[in-house]
Amino acid sequence: MTDEGRKPWTRREIGGKEAWDWLDLLLVPLVLGIVAAGLTAWFNAQQNTRQNDIEDRRARAEREVAEQRAQDEALQAYLDQMSNLLLEKDLRNSEEDSETRILARARTLTVLGRLDPNRKTDVMHFLVEAELIQSPDEEKPILELTGANLKGANLIEADLRGARLAGANLSDANLGWTDLRDARLGAADLSGAILVDTNLSDADLRVVNLRVPTWAWPS
CA distance 176 to 61: 34
Task: Say what the pLDDT of residue 22 is.
Answer: 54
pLDDT tens track for 7-20: 554 455 545 555 55
Measured CA to CA in angstroms, residue 76 lies from 111, 134, 148 at distances of 10, 23, 19
At 69, the amino acid letter reads R
User: Does the pLDDT at position 5 exceed 70?
Assistant: no
**Mean pLDDT value of segment 115-122:** 96
CA distance 8 to 96: 113
pLDDT tens track for 151-197: 999 999 999 999 999 999 999 999 999 999 999 999 999 999 999 99
CA angle 71, 165, 194 (to 5 degrees): 75
Task: Say what the pLDDT of residue 212 is.
Answer: 54
3-state secondary structure of 154: strand
Bridge partners (DSSP) of residue 164 are 184
Task: Say what the pLDDT of residue 87 is.
Answer: 94
Q: What is the dihedral of CA 124, 125, 127, 131, to 10 degrees?
A: 130
Given pLDDT bands bounded at 50, 70 and 90, which one contains residue 26?
low
The percentage of the chain sitting over the pLDDT mark of 70, rounded to a whole number, equals: 83
Task: Choose among 114, 115, 116, 186: nearest CA to 144.
Answer: 186
User: Does the pLDDT at position 32 exceed 90?
Assistant: no
User: What backbone torsions phi and psi does residue 17 show, to the nearest 5 degrees?
Assistant: -115, 145
At 147, the amino acid letter reads G
User: Does the pLDDT at position 219 exceed 50?
Assistant: no
User: Does the pLDDT at position 214 exceed 50?
Assistant: no
3-state secondary structure of 179: strand
**Mean pLDDT value of segment 117-127:** 97
pLDDT tens track for 40-79: 888 788 888 888 888 888 888 888 888 999 999 999 999 9
Given pLDDT bands bounded at 50, 70 and 90, which one contains residue 4?
low
CA distance 183 to 23: 92
Given pLDDT bands bounded at 50, 70 and 90, which one contains residue 129?
very high
H/E element, 74: helix 19-87
CA distance 102 to 23: 91
At 121, the amino acid letter reads T
3-state secondary structure of 37: helix
| Residues sharing a CB contact under 8 Å with residue 146, sequence separation 6 or more, in sequence order | 164, 165, 166, 167, 168, 184
Task: Say what the pLDDT of residue 153 is.
Answer: 97
